[in-house]
Structure 1
Amino acid sequence: MANCKLPQNTDRAGRRQELEKLGLGDDVDLYVYEIPVEYQAVQRLIPALWKKHSPQLVVHVGLSGMATTVTLEKCGHNVGYRGLDNCRFCPGSHCCVEGGPECIDSVIDMDQVCKRVSDLDLEVLVTISKDAGRYLCDFTYYTSLYQSHGRSAFVHVPPLGKPYSAEQLGRALQAIIEEMLNVLEHSESDINCDHEH
């Protein structure tokens, strides 16, 4: 099961429709939600979605106006949130979870996912990042990582046409999510094998 947080802009529908059209195969239930660019909405919706679906993995997708590649974020950060959201609100604590760890890494090996997707030659450049930006994307990612004990991922995408089309981004997201699920499945198999011995 994958959950995608789609960016708040005029081209979000193109990416969402493309991913929904492509799907993730018969064995994967894909639920797509749009999460408002609001701190309080994130704090309310992320736990509710985890409770409702109990997914294997949640993949958030956010727009970065500065991005020229599809970027896999390795971790989410707890502190440093000072920018106002769409409701002109910012948490007084400037953090996601008071008393939470400074940084939470995804259980997904993003280096491995990046290499595998790059080897598919999808004509989309995929890169890695350790800083999702200390705004709503990073806030959402950390909140989801905290809620899921690391079973979340975040992908930053560039604006449509700069340089990729909705179709190219949809195919890239499909491949990325499939590889993330493969990596997660293999890592869980390894853990189960280790416990049997």
Structure 2
Amino acid sequence: MKVLVTGFEPFDGAAVNESWEAVRCLRAAWADEQRAEELVVARLPVSFRGAPALLHRLLAEHSPQVVVCVGLAAGSRAVRLERVAVNVVDARIPDAAGRAPVDEPVVADGPVAYLSSLPLKAALASVRGTGVPVAVSNTAGTYVCNATFYALAHALAATDVRAGFVHVPAADVVPVAGSARALAAVVRTAADHRAGRIDDLVLAAGTEH
């Protein structure tokens, strides 16, 4: 089984992007996992056009059975397993190419939203087992992360690929090594679910607001 995991390049003047650092850390540790899955990693540009375009090329080149895209949520206090991608872009700041679309669709005439096809509740339980703070999130924002998540879900909507998006916090909240452990738990769980080795769980993770 082939697994694709992506992070993002630094943006908005930052020297690093914890999403890519966590993916790099995951790659370095993957051999020690002694898993049969082949792990492919890639760094995406923080670009409304560039990130989906590169992601589409990676999907065509590698034909993965599991895809986990990873982004940075600097204000988060936990790793966030994103449930929903919405078909809207509303950019607070320009992307790396200088574009700042407002109230535009990610995909013209696409559905309003897609749900993650990752086994979110089983992944939630797995990440909890690592001791890393984690939550199911019901909004991936309206910036490049959400646009990438939506483009991913749209591209794979008619397939049995397990695909979704994870946000990691800044390193001063959860160290990169901790985020990498969480990502490893998500990837392992998704691969086991895709292979039919486990079922997803029924586990409450909703909110009242």
Number of the residue aligned with 2:8: 7
8 Å contact kept, 1:72–1:156: yes
Shift of 1:125: 1.0
Query: Which amino acid in structure 1 is aligned with residue 172 of structure 2?
Result: G
User: In the alignment, is residue 20 of structure 1 matched against residue 27 of structure 2?
Assistant: yes
What TM-score do you get using the length of structure 1 for normalisation?
A: 0.85
Hey, which of these two has a bigger chunk of strand by percent?
A: 2
User: In the alignment, is residue 159 of structure 1 matched against residue 167 of structure 2?
Assistant: no
Shift of 1:68: 0.9
Shift of 1:171: 1.4
Q: CA deviation digits over 1:4-26, x for unaligned, max 9?
A: 22133315454233111111534
1:170 to 176, 180, 188: 180
Unaligned 5+ runs, structure 1: 190-197
8 Å contact kept, 2:89–2:101: no
Cα separation, 2, equivalents of 1:45 and 1:90:
19
Unaligned 5+ runs, structure 2: 11-15, 200-209
Shift of 1:61: 0.7
Q: CA deviation digits over 1:52-96, x for unaligned, max 9?
A: 111101101101111110110012111243443121114577111
What TM-score do you get using the length of structure 2 for normalisation?
A: 0.80
8 Å contact kept, 1:80–1:134: yes
1:97-116 equivalences in 2 (<5 Å): 97-116=107-126
Number of the residue aligned with 2:131: 123
User: In the alignment, is residue 69 of structure 1 matched against residue 70 of structure 2?
Assistant: no
Q: 1:59 to 1:88 in 2, by over 3 A?
A: same
Q: 1:17 to 1:108 in 2, by over 3 A?
A: closer
8 Å contact kept, 1:77–1:142: yes
Q: CA deviation digits over 1:145-174, x for unaligned, max 9?
A: 111117311110001121x22222211211
8 Å contact kept, 1:74–1:110: yes
Aligned residues: 187
Query: Which amino acid in structure 2 is aligned with residue 129 of structure 1?
Result: S
Runs of 4+ in 1 over 6 A off after TM superposition: none
8 Å contact kept, 1:75–1:103: yes
Paired residue secondary structure (1:27): coil
8 Å contact kept, 1:78–1:101: yes
Cα separation, 1, equivalents of 2:107 and 2:196:
30
